[in-house]
Structure 1
Amino acid sequence: MIESLRDSNPRKVHHVHRPALIGALAIGLGIALDAAFESPYDISFLALWGTGCFCLLVAASALYIQRERLGTWAVLLSCVITGAIRHHQVVELQQEATVREYASVEGVPVRVRGQLTTSVVIDEAEYGPRIPSWLELDSSICDLRVDELQVSEEWASVSGTVRVRVSGHLTTAQVGDFVEVVGSLRRPQPLSNPDGYDFAKLLRREGISVLLSVSHPAALEVTSRPSNLWWKLLRVREAVREECRRLFVENLSPKSQSLALSMLLGDRTQLTKQDREIFQESGAMHLLAISGLHVGILAGFVTLVSRFFSLSERKTAVAILVVTILYAGLTNHRPPVLRATLLICLVIFGATRRRHVDLLNALACCALVLLLISPEDLFDLGAQLSFLAVLAIIWSIDLLKRLRVAATKSDALLSENWRWLERIRPAIRWLVQGTVITATIWFVTFPLILSSFHIVAPIGLLLNLLLIPFAGIVLGAGYVFLLTGWFLPVLGHLTGAVFDAALRAFLWIIQSASDLPGGHFCFSGFPSWWLTGFYVLLPVSVAASRWPTIQKGTCVSLSVWCLGMAWLALLPPKSDELRVTVLDVGHGLAMVIELPSGEVLLYDAGNTGNGSRAESAVKDYLWSRNQHRIDAVLVSHADHDHFSGLFGVLDQFPVRKLLIGQSFLDFTQRGTFELCEAAAKRNVEIELLQANDVLKTDDHDPSIRIEILHPTGDFQSKSDNAQSLVMKLTYGERSLLLTGDVEEDGLKRLLSSPRNRCDILMSPHHGAKSSNPLDLLEWISSELLVVSTSDRSVGPRLRSFVPDDVSVATTVESGALTLRINRSGRISVDRFLEEPNPQ
């Protein structure tokens, strides 16, 4: 990794040895294989240990008899097994957590004792006209290592870590405290929608077994304080962070406070959803979270201060090491920060020894250390993007060297008339270097960012040329402000005003870039198989540039993969089926209808609360199906839990029509006017529907018929539910009835019309007893009753009184339900949490 400067002959660059790179790749492969092929712990762990010892024995024997190739392969296999063993150890620790045995999905009242292992973080609630008042309550989050648990009368010894969420501000407890807590112990909900956010998997990777919900801060009582030196150091760190927060509150504007907390301390809890979105849309998300860039800027700041005080080179190196290590601890040492800190330590160690540092091998050494400490970092998105960005910088430096050689040769050909270019050469060089590095990082990280966030921000290519230098100025102003605030309070207000102005200007640039037309696009991401191929071909192509004989072939392969295979991967699916997917959104409704013609309809999209669950479920599902537009959105009625998720959907998907009933325009329900206004701003055509209306498809397929059965034009009711738009969807000889929340006088009016047989009935009002009488089942004569609900008692209750030949499927039990009807009339029901079940 570190070579003598005397041996850094450019002609020998092809023969640089990078053992850390090979080792990191082998250990990463072992971790990935162990994660992919789960097996019983006692069998696989012993087998891995035995195989690893055998490989080491073979390696030692091969090296002893000078069979280097055999020894090398044996060592590599040992590294692979080491990665698998390390990952297995982490998984085993999670499996040994006995506290999980006492939890359930619904929640079990318990009293627990244990020790807080993390600082208490205040999660500020969102506020707004569309958010119910009962959701406008802050909460406190921390992790608790549980030692004892009481369910009935007796205490039981348990093990495991739980994530505690307390309603309100918890101010009496700190990290390391021993506490006794009363709350509800529950298991995290499994992933229940296609391509959704797997919160349970994220918790497992963090070593969290279950969740503990606490209704009030008084339900958590501190029993004793820690005496261990480690916990005291963590409390000192938290005190320093709290002092930084105090300085921000006293000297910065509210908007600047949240941005300063994120950029300097890595605390993003006070950032709103809108704040995160504008950074994503401007391609500057990497500046919001603390990363290697921030650590590098800090190291540069320390270097400038050291030069100002005329410190020696050795003292400057020590100062950089001490400050970056302390900063990594202050910011909760996330993987990107640890990677940058380790890399700086290696580079400085080499510089003080007058040795040349191979950056690629040093980066691999950082990866190797991090993977051995925390194998789950291999799957951490932040860590992946951090290492990819540094790889891109290393590759771009190599490219810039070649460009510099070409520029040097061309200088000799410049005529006297062009010698004036010498005067602006530094500016040109800076512009070229910035463009090459930024473009390389963008190209390397773009596929992973698109697949994770479903957004493309071309504006980021240009914006980062301006923002990265400016970010250095902003962060430098922040460091000066913190130093003066701590040690020279008299100057704190002045430096705070400068820092606040810099943050305001920084945020204004981000906001302007986000609002720029064409600056960003929302798009479905690449599938896993495409990402795997891309990130295998990319380094192969870069490495092949040193061997002209194979360079052309690898570049052609990468180009074909990027263009041809990407086009294939992003194509919307073609099928002659009618596909109706009822997404699991808790208490609410969101249904995506995909017609054989390729048109996409959305029937409701909302849930109780702020609508984020329905919004995410709809967007994730559409992206998983490579659908990039919605032809029509039909809102059944003016209940918040049926349209609250549409605002975010309108932001990221072009919608042709918004279809509503006359009662929706009453505007007495919160959010109805805002939804119509949001649709009008986006040039969405708004149409009113009533009974006997028929919706036309683009291809006028006679086998598809979409008609409205209720309400009629003369129907009036005080209840929004009663005025729900009831839609019948027919494909060939099969049909579905979508009922919204129709009940009471609306349901009576519907049942008074002629019988209307449908094969599948969407249960009205989430399976409520009053909305699902036997009269409705007899009137419709359906084979399948589908329910969107968060109540696990609904399914058993409905099955207790419906006829035996009627199946009941609920989203709370089965996750997302996909109903597929082919041209021959065969109905299939795919349950996301179960195997497909043909009807």
Structure 2
Amino acid sequence: MVGQFAQAWDRIVQRAPLAPCAVAFSLGIFLGEWTTLPVWAGLVPALFFLGLIWRLPGWRVALVLPALVFLGQAWRADAMQVGTNGLARIATQTPVPCRLEGVVVDGPWLLDPPLGLAGNERWAQGAKRAEFIVLAESMWVEGFWRPISGRVRVTRELSFAEAFPGRKLQMLGLLKAISAPMNPGEIDLRTLALKQGIQAELRLEGTQNEDGSPADMTLVSKWSWRPECWLAAMRVWGAERLRKSVEPDVAELAAALVLGDTRQVDRPDWLLFQRTGVVHVLAISGQHLVLVAWACFLLGRVLGFRTRQVVLVVAILVLIYALVTGGRPPALRAAITVLSAAVAWLSRRPPSFVNCLALSWLVVAILMPADLGSTGCLLSFFATGLLHWATRSWWREQTEEEEAYERAVELSRPGWISWLIGRGREVGEAYRVNLIVWLGLTPLVAARTYMVSLVAVVVGPPVAFLGGWALGFGFLLLLAGPNLPVISALLSLGTTWALRGCRWLAWWGESLPGAWFSTPGLGIFWLVIFHLVLTGGLVGLWPNIRWRLVIGLAISFVLFPLLPMKQWLNPVQPGWRCAFLAVGHGSCVVLELTDASGGRRVVVMDVGAVSGDGVTRRIVEPYLRHRGISMVDDLVISHADLDHYAGALELADRVRVKKVWVGPGFAEKRNESTAILLEGLKQRRLSPALLHAGLALRWGETEIRVLHPPADLPGVSAEKSNEASLVLRIDSPWGGVLLPGDLEGQGTRRLLASNP
């Protein structure tokens, strides 16, 4: 085993010297990510090892690798630093009035209102919430503009046209630091924002002057020559052209597919593609750039240009396209790989795939060190490795006799039969490749999204096929524009129906039994071992890779839902656990009831916040996964206020909910928000059942009793929903707790009079 590993390592170093350099630099970046070491702690040792290289040239290879490790740590530490005048040092958790001046570098995105705000008067007038990113330059402090640095996420409750990339604005609003996580397992939005350079949030109230112009925002200049502004402006321009050219029901899907503008994709569509395992079709990846490269190459050859000219132009165009679409790691990886392969071909040197991939990894690590561990980045590189190594080593090459025999058999068949057999082989090859990639990537996807999509094996190839056609039509549609109306109409029709086909396949796949299921988070130890074994197989560490790789992946996939074995090693004791989650202005309580046999019943009382249904994605679901919960037995909605049910539908979409309970008078509160909730529950086959005083839920020795309201609600107005709030009392040998919801006023007096 050691000898095989040494031979494989020697082959890699000889054929792809950049590969070990990329590994060493990455280790340093992850070291800087996991530690708080300063920049000098990595820079000084790196300079020491580089000095030894000059004194000991014979040890060059052995000394370069540790030098790169320390350089990676110093690079990541420097990227995480915030300047003395950075917004992260100025903003606090308490919103304060602030006047900022800066340049719009990304956005704007017009976002749909959260579920519960659909009936709000301001939303009813057709306004939406806008969000954009501003590179702050100065702040008004004590009568002077003082220089500051850092990006700020700006939100405004009314739509407007001033926030276009490249425009310089003065804004007056409430400045606030991005909140750190306050619940176990909660997504750390603050760290994610800092990795993108966003250091604070600025909320504009959307006030207007008498002439209709914004009162909280002033246009200073109309354009900035920053490259990122040019790229963002091109992306916004292209997305708007696509939205105007295709049918409205697929307009946002087209913008996401062609230009990577996923922020405005409808949440139901995004969840549909995610649950069926084909969301990569909507995210700009290597597949998209390869298709664009081939289309541009064929177009250049058809127009009569020489191959060398076409290759160079295509490589440059692919790089520009990757930057216009946002320059995320998957797109940048594909662009650098195509560019390096093109340079190797133009210099008449055989391109090394490993070297090209390692160069792409190094470029991503240098430009985006914070994104190396992101799901999209890891999936992109692993998928590329699987496609290259595993698929190439699956079939042995045919001998000359076998090729001659196959040609003779093919000539003896009718042409249409040969055509059908050829297409059938192509379909089978597509499904074989899809299965190998799915087996290799599913553990990482399950660890990051807590979801396994079995139906992706079935719908993956046809969705990718239709997505490729939609991408080609959409890209040509951007180039054609309004100058070629007939061609644009045909391309628009092709884009629309290809995307509708993708959506229909995803919808059909989701409707199949067992299409997807939720899973608890995987143990990090098992995940690391799995990918070490996978990487070893890909680089040729094991003999007979074709069978051992696939069999090992299949066995691992069968076993991984059973891991980690924490529940077997540490049996759960009978009792109950009550967690009050910090959701801001809202409520969410998670009850875990355990009986003597180790069975568990999960009750969630309320899931909502004024901030909208994002509370489920950011807080509630991560907490449930942290606790190893993939199913909620009872969802109790205490009363019909937005801050108690805004995340209910998203919770039902993300985890399995067996039953929903509401109190008397819930349906009588007539507004659009409750109507959307009830209709959404009905569509998910979760018709709410009624809870009222006198009923109880039991699990083992624990009892949940309903103390209020009575079934007939005498003397309580349905519009005063707080007075009709459900009140639950938990009793068990291990203690008890009272959950009063938002009970107040006449409801409180009635409950006390009943002497519960």
Relative to the length of structure 2, the TM-score reads: 0.87
Contact 1:105 1:187 (8 Å CA) reproduced: yes
* Deviation at residue 567 of structure 1 after TM alignment: 0.9
Which among 189, 210, 230 is matched to residue 199 of structure 1?
Answer: 189
Which among 100, 111, 115 is matched to residue 124 of structure 1?
Answer: 111
Residue identity in the other structure for 1:74: L
Aligned to 2:461: 465
Aligned to 2:68: 79
- Shift of the 173–662 alpha-carbon distance from structure 1 to 2, 3 Å rule, reads closer
Aligned to 1:710: 708
User: What CA distance in whole angstroms lies between the structure 1 residues aligned with 2:707 and 2:727?
Assistant: 6
User: What CA distance in whole angstroms lies between the structure 2 residues aligned with 1:237 and 1:336?
Assistant: 17
Aligned to 1:159: 149
* Deviation at residue 414 of structure 1 after TM alignment: 13
Residue identity in the other structure for 1:735: G
User: What CA distance in whole angstroms lies between the structure 2 residues aligned with 1:194 and 1:496?
Assistant: 47
Q: Which range is displaced more, 456-465 or 422-431? A: 422-431
Q: Which range is displaced more, 190-199 or 583-592? A: 190-199
Alignment of 1:740 onto 2:741: yes
Contact 1:707 1:728 (8 Å CA) reproduced: yes
User: What CA distance in whole angstroms lies between the structure 1 residues aligned with 2:311 and 2:407?
Assistant: 42
Secondary structure of 1:662's counterpart equals coil
Aligned to 2:450: 454
User: What CA distance in whole angstroms lies between the structure 1 residues aligned with 2:616 and 2:229?
Assistant: 39
Residue identity in the other structure for 2:707: L
- Shift of the 422–147 alpha-carbon distance from structure 1 to 2, 3 Å rule, reads closer
Contact 2:436 2:550 (8 Å CA) reproduced: no
Aligned to 1:631: 633
Deviations 1:711-764 (A, max 9, x none): 34565211322222221112215210111111112211222344x7xxxxxxxx
Aligned to 1:209: 199
Contact 2:439 2:553 (8 Å CA) reproduced: no
* Deviation at residue 348 of structure 1 after TM alignment: 1.4
User: What CA distance in whole angstroms lies between the structure 2 residues aligned with 1:176 and 1:678?
Assistant: 41
Deviations 1:274-322 (A, max 9, x none): 1211211222111101111111000110122122223221122123123
* Deviation at residue 334 of structure 1 after TM alignment: 1.9
User: What CA distance in whole angstroms lies between the structure 1 residues aligned with 2:617 and 2:376?
Assistant: 24
Alignment of 1:100 onto 2:98: no
Deviations 1:220-243 (A, max 9, x none): 22334557xx43x65655554455
* Deviation at residue 656 of structure 1 after TM alignment: 3.5
Structure 2 matches for 1:493-512, cutoff 5 A?
493-512=489-508
Secondary structure of 2:628's counterpart equals coil
Aligned to 1:381: 375
Secondary structure of 1:664's counterpart equals coil
Secondary structure of 1:599's counterpart equals strand
Aligned to 1:443: 439
* Deviation at residue 213 of structure 1 after TM alignment: 1.5
User: What CA distance in whole angstroms lies between the structure 2 residues aligned with 1:225 and 1:753?
Assistant: 67
Contact 2:102 2:138 (8 Å CA) reproduced: yes
Q: Which range is displaced more, 427-436 or 568-577? A: 568-577
User: What CA distance in whole angstroms lies between the structure 1 residues aligned with 2:695 and 2:712?
Assistant: 14
User: What CA distance in whole angstroms lies between the structure 2 residues aligned with 1:683 and 1:372?
Assistant: 49
User: What CA distance in whole angstroms lies between the structure 2 residues aligned with 1:511 and 1:556?
Assistant: 31
User: What CA distance in whole angstroms lies between the structure 2 residues aligned with 1:482 and 1:551?
Assistant: 42
- Shift of the 625–177 alpha-carbon distance from structure 1 to 2, 3 Å rule, reads same
* Deviation at residue 13 of structure 1 after TM alignment: 7.2
Q: Which range is displaced more, 241-250 or 263-272? A: 241-250
* Deviation at residue 107 of structure 1 after TM alignment: 0.8
Secondary structure of 2:603's counterpart equals strand
Count of residues paired in the alignment:
725
Contact 1:191 1:199 (8 Å CA) reproduced: yes
- Shift of the 615–313 alpha-carbon distance from structure 1 to 2, 3 Å rule, reads closer
Residue identity in the other structure for 1:744: G
- Shift of the 206–127 alpha-carbon distance from structure 1 to 2, 3 Å rule, reads closer
User: What CA distance in whole angstroms lies between the structure 2 residues aligned with 1:565 and 1:371?
Assistant: 30
Structure 2 matches for 1:602-751, cutoff 5 A?
602-608=604-610, 610-614=612-616, 616-668=618-670, 670-672=672-674, 675-676=677-678, 678-679=680-681, 682=684, 684=686, 686-697=688-699, 701-702=700-701, 704-713=702-711, 715-716=713-714, 717-718=716-717, 719-732=720-733, 734-751=735-752
User: What CA distance in whole angstroms lies between the structure 1 residues aligned with 2:400 and 2:524?
Assistant: 40
Which among 461, 477, 480 is matched to residue 476 of structure 2?
Answer: 480
Alignment of 1:322 onto 2:316: yes
Contact 1:143 1:163 (8 Å CA) reproduced: yes
Q: Percent identity?
A: 25
Structure 2 matches for 1:146-545, cutoff 5 A?
146-216=136-206, 217-224=214-221, 230-231=225-226, 237=231, 240-402=234-396, 404-405=397-398, 426-485=422-481, 487-489=483-485, 491-545=487-541
Aligned to 1:110: 98
Secondary structure of 2:56's counterpart equals helix
User: What CA distance in whole angstroms lies between the structure 1 residues aligned with 2:688 and 2:103?
Assistant: 56
User: What CA distance in whole angstroms lies between the structure 2 residues aligned with 1:620 and 1:556?
Assistant: 32
User: What CA distance in whole angstroms lies between the structure 2 residues aligned with 1:61 and 1:341?
Assistant: 38
- Shift of the 424–242 alpha-carbon distance from structure 1 to 2, 3 Å rule, reads closer
Secondary structure of 2:198's counterpart equals coil
Relative to the length of structure 1, the TM-score reads: 0.79
Q: Which range is displaced more, 52-61 or 196-205? A: 52-61
Alignment of 1:90 onto 2:85: no
Q: Which range is displaced more, 339-348 or 371-380? A: 371-380
Secondary structure of 1:140's counterpart equals strand
* Deviation at residue 418 of structure 1 after TM alignment: 13
* Deviation at residue 184 of structure 1 after TM alignment: 1.2
Secondary structure of 1:385's counterpart equals helix
Q: Which range is displaced more, 377-386 or 333-342? A: 377-386
Contact 1:656 1:685 (8 Å CA) reproduced: no
Residue identity in the other structure for 1:24: A
* Deviation at residue 584 of structure 1 after TM alignment: 1.6
User: What CA distance in whole angstroms lies between the structure 2 residues aligned with 1:486 and 1:406?
Assistant: 54
* Deviation at residue 335 of structure 1 after TM alignment: 1.8
Q: Which range is displaced more, 605-614 or 344-353? A: 605-614
Secondary structure of 1:175's counterpart equals coil
Structure 2 matches for 1:747-762, cutoff 5 A?
747-754=748-755
User: What CA distance in whole angstroms lies between the structure 2 residues aligned with 1:256 and 1:725?
Assistant: 42
Secondary structure of 2:47's counterpart equals helix
Aligned to 1:49: 43
Contact 1:485 1:491 (8 Å CA) reproduced: no
* Deviation at residue 634 of structure 1 after TM alignment: 2.3
Which among 583, 586, 592 is matched to residue 594 of structure 1?
Answer: 592
User: What CA distance in whole angstroms lies between the structure 2 residues aligned with 1:417 and 1:307?
Assistant: 31
Contact 1:640 1:670 (8 Å CA) reproduced: no
Contact 2:519 2:561 (8 Å CA) reproduced: no
Contact 1:251 1:497 (8 Å CA) reproduced: no
Contact 1:335 1:377 (8 Å CA) reproduced: yes
Residue identity in the other structure for 2:377: A
User: What CA distance in whole angstroms lies between the structure 2 residues aligned with 1:528 and 1:155?
Assistant: 49
* Deviation at residue 215 of structure 1 after TM alignment: 2.1
User: What CA distance in whole angstroms lies between the structure 2 residues aligned with 1:304 and 1:558?
Assistant: 37
User: What CA distance in whole angstroms lies between the structure 1 residues aligned with 2:519 and 2:339?
Assistant: 39
Deviations 1:619-645 (A, max 9, x none): 222222222222222222232322232
Residue identity in the other structure for 1:133: N
User: What CA distance in whole angstroms lies between the structure 1 residues aligned with 2:726 and 2:441?
Assistant: 45
- Shift of the 399–119 alpha-carbon distance from structure 1 to 2, 3 Å rule, reads same
User: What CA distance in whole angstroms lies between the structure 2 residues aligned with 1:336 and 1:481?
Assistant: 24
